[in-house]
Amino acid sequence: MTRLSVNINKIATLRNSRGGQVPSVKTACIKCQEFGAQGITVHPRPDERHITRKDVYEIKPLITTEFNIEGYPGEDFLKMVTEVKPDQVTLVPDSEVQLTSDHGWDTWKNLGFLKEVIARLQENGIRTSIFVDPDEKAVEGAAEIKTDRIELYTEPYASFFPIDKYKAIEPFVKTAKLAENLGIDVNAGHDLSLENLAFMYHLIPNLKEVSIGHALIADALYLGLETTIQKYLDCLK
């Protein structure tokens, strides 16, 4: 079974554009789970342009499924997640000013750093995942780092999907198979949508989790949140 974790960053973006508490991130967290989401993902960035540190602490008691926190493992981030203790932390190589994640880790170049970070998280009982491109060398590095999971950066798949979906998925299938052979579980995320999710799911049967935010929240504007979550869950059957 592949779990659907809903990234609620965009709810916070809309709230922050006006100030105040509308729409409520806490209510969105509760409702997503009520409507069938099997996890909640947030990515608090240093400038707090969407999810804030305060949100992270307030959301934790509301999680009845799984809590996944994404971010660059600076000291402030690591302090926060070791206090909150989510089910999973996904490490991304983003800069402080980056608009959105656009590449995975060079696992060999950052081997020592990531080893130390992951050991620290695992000592706190937190499952670890690192964001990687669909590259077999990166997965081999992930095995050396001893991460529990990788998250495949799927924007290249989503971009090429309308042109040639079989060619688009090929490197992801190879990477996921290698990860499985090395004993690493596989997540996926970035630009997955109702158009391309089911195809990926059927060709990568060992996916543990997909994290989807932007497309899902955009679809919810037209379809409603409950209907949208059900449609995404249907893609994972």
Candidates 50, 151, 190, 209; catalytic one: 190
Q: Is 50 among the catalytic positions?
A: no
Catalytic-labelled residue, pool 66, 70, 151, 209: 70
Cα–Cα distance for residue pair 224/150, rounded to 1 Å? 31
The DSSP 8-state label assigned to residue 21 in this structure reads T
Which of 43, 50, 151, 209 is labelled catalytic?
43
Indicate if 103 belongs to the active site: no
Provide the β-strand partners of residue 210: 4, 188
Q: How far apart are CA 17 and CA 150, in angstroms?
A: 33
Please give the Cα distance from 132 to 145 (Å, whole number).
13
Nearest to 7, CA basis, from 21, 34, 28: 28
* Residue burial 100-123, b: 16+ Cβ < 10 Å; e: rest: ebeebbbbeebeeebeebbeebee
Separation CA 132–CA 150 (nearest Å): 7
Name, in order, each residue with C-beta under 8 angstroms of 56's C-beta and a sequence gap of 6 or more.
42, 44, 69, 80, 84
CA end-to-end span of the chain: 8
- As beta bridge partners, residue 209 has 3, 187
Residues annotated catalytic, as ranges? 43, 70, 190
